[in-house]
Structure 1
């Protein structure tokens, strides 16, 4: 198996979940309830789960495997017991039921003449046959209901996808991802989702999915510019359901991005603007491709992030990030340019996933590249004799709020494998220029 080592969840909880998933429909439903209760457990929330000197993630995996095995054993014991009891229970005899007399009428029953007992015990042959037919009609539906309907087998192409979704890496970064019914659509969406995984895992699972991917005879391509230190190549392979998205360092910027930047005579500023232009071109494209993206910037008055699942939502974000780039290009002083860079960085960082994409994923690399560009603008502001502090917020959310570096109305989204109150991602950098402060924004676990 390409991916996690044998002691990871891909070989532990992954195999157990897949085995249970294919068992029967009743276990599948019960297993979903089990996952809802336990899959979001913190890796380090339970005392005694992680012995000293051991990886907390491995402790969590062992604990989840133990609980899952106990759950399966208990389920099958109850399930088999119920089936056995049902089979051993004798069919109800209508005549015997009629012969049961409440205790309050026992005295009256004793006074019945013996002749009546003799008459009641003799049934005509026609009545006996009718009673047997009635019994068959009553018990047959019960037997049919006791046997769960056969679950149709999953198509072969679902195997690698399901294996990824129930693996440790899938639980961390793809929690809640659902598999579309259409094969090509499912693979196209999965390739886009792989951009949220750590780079090594993305490459490994891309290879795992390649054998079941149908490449169209005439594949479509979307070519994006890439940063100088970024490896050129496909971000998303081509499928019949979607085009291949390729990043090439020498490719020109999005025409609208080029127009927003305008002409810049200073070589250093032109290079910085071009770097931001590359990032803006990339997110404007992926905003219309990745349906799991959330917009956390265009309207900060709402309690939840906006989903990027329709045209107006995508256009809203694309216009917003383009406007921030235009503001940066038109800024006059070094301080104004730094402020504009932080606002543009916020627009890039606030295109998020739930759970948060990995720091060493493609999306994590985009955030890191944006932060480097902001620091270059900060250096230029310092050379212009501005007192500057730029902070990437991390750690405990409560401590950051108390320090005054983040606004108290910061957006929140839960995520697996982290402690409550821990910052998951910085959405806006904390900025000070000559004593004036702009508070940051964070995404934290609750």
Structure 2
């Protein structure tokens, strides 16, 4: 014997090899025992997915505090990495039950098919034809080489052009079917429908429209539920769709709010990224001069809310005493005009040094930003809810600089009590589902109540009704 441990030491210091590299090596191995190991790991992936879903449902149903959100996000990421390794094995299993077999297998199938394709078609390494974008065939860069070869992107639509290999096209269809399966599961999930109201991914629309609706719906869910469905889609969609690229649209975001992918890419359609580094000058925030208190926050929120109002088919406007879908062109234009007007009035009040009126204009601007709402209202602690909460911080920043003595009250509790205390006068409040005003709760404070020496009492404005 040479003193080596036959299990852990075969001439290589495996203790120095990263865990993911060890896992990938074993999963790609040949032989009966390697296949047995893969079956067990696949089963583990299914157990992890079921655990994530159950936890997300319990969290959403029981209102459990969010101190474990980071842990659940780590579990979701661990699940995604595990499944991605499983789906890179050389002989992927066909798509069957979505809980254990994922669409990443189709990506591996595309690579295998491309290696068998006619050389005239070009080299395709590891990417399926994107669903809805059959021409977007692109390979990974070769080691030490230049950009990936992209053979005749829309070639087969041109007479005499080279066709795309049937095997690669079929792999793209596998990816499409896997994504469609996620849409079906998402739309049928009771907890998702609780927070989105009905079926959030309507059938009969183009893939890219359903893709956008799916990801915009995620922004409204409790964090654990959002993390689960994000991981679920990551197991189905091509990885390169989900990573920001140069051609993505970048919506300006406040520097104090972490950037995030709003809608990933879908085939040739670029994704949308909320980016704090994007310029906030111009666009809907053009009326701001840049010298106002809370300028970065106000400008970033204005850009984001303006984009979301136009992009989200489920968004409503609370300009009047009732919610009106923003997909109505008249309502969409009206909201943009109102937001622009309030940005200008706030900037003007700051320029003229109007102290308390600056706070009033800031509160009115915050109301304009918070007018983009959903029915049912979004989940507490969802991304959308946290974004809208930033508007209150903006009003307090303005007050701290121009009129610290102004009392700002964010209205909450029972609606009847808010009325009795004069926090709102009820003229423009939005009523949702409630048998009477006395039974209603304040569900959303659109504009806070203000009290100042010059202003006097300025009533706020709310959305009220029955609890979710």
TM-score range, shorter chain: 0.5 to 0.7
- Separation of aligned partners in 2, 1:56 and 1:234: 26
CA contact (8 A) 1:291 1:308 kept: yes
Task: Give how far 1:281 is off.
Answer: 0.8
1:335 corresponds in structure 2 to 356
1:262 aligned onto 2:296: no
- Separation of aligned partners in 1, 2:432 and 2:418: 17
- Separation of aligned partners in 2, 1:249 and 1:256: 15
- Separation of aligned partners in 1, 2:255 and 2:334: 29
2:378 corresponds in structure 1 to 357
1:249 aligned onto 2:249: no
- Separation of aligned partners in 2, 1:368 and 1:273: 16
1:411 aligned onto 2:430: yes
CA contact (8 A) 2:241 2:264 kept: no
- Separation of aligned partners in 2, 1:179 and 1:187: 10
1:439 aligned onto 2:459: yes
Which of 156, 179, 199 is the matching residue for 2:202? 179
TM-score computed with the length of structure 2 as normaliser: 0.56
Task: Give how far 1:242 is off.
Answer: 5.2
Task: Give how far 1:324 is off.
Answer: 0.6
* Per-residue Cα deviation, 1:48-70 (whole angstroms, up to 9, x for no partner): xxxxxxx589xxxxxxxxxxxxx
Larger radius of gyration: 1
Please identify which structure carries the higher helix content.
1
1:317 corresponds in structure 2 to 335
RMSD across aligned positions (CA): 3.2
1:290 corresponds in structure 2 to 312
Q: The residue matched to 1:212 in structure 2 has which SS?
A: coil
TM-score computed with the length of structure 1 as normaliser: 0.59
2:217 corresponds in structure 1 to 193
* Per-residue Cα deviation, 1:118-169 (whole angstroms, up to 9, x for no partner): xxxxxxxxxxxxxxxxxxxxxxxxxxxxxxxxxxxx9654433333334353
2:388 corresponds in structure 1 to 367
Number of aligned positions between the proteins: 294
Q: 1:224 to 1:399 in 2, by over 3 A?
A: same
CA contact (8 A) 1:174 1:193 kept: yes
- Separation of aligned partners in 2, 1:306 and 1:274: 29
Task: Give how far 1:328 is off.
Answer: 0.5
CA contact (8 A) 2:56 2:224 kept: no
* Per-residue Cα deviation, 1:148-204 (whole angstroms, up to 9, x for no partner): xxxxxx965443333333435313311123523233321221111111113343233
Q: Give the gaps of 5 or more residues in structure 2.
A: 1-47, 65-175
Of structures 1 and 2, the one scoring higher in RCO (CA 8 A, sep 6+) is 1
Q: 1:358 to 1:433 in 2, by over 3 A?
A: same
Q: 1:244 to 1:178 in 2, by over 3 A?
A: closer
1:274 corresponds in structure 2 to 296
* Per-residue Cα deviation, 1:321-348 (whole angstroms, up to 9, x for no partner): 1211111111021111100100000011
Q: The residue matched to 1:197 in structure 2 has which SS?
A: coil
1:390 aligned onto 2:413: no
Task: Give how far 1:288 is off.
Answer: 1.3
CA contact (8 A) 1:304 1:411 kept: yes
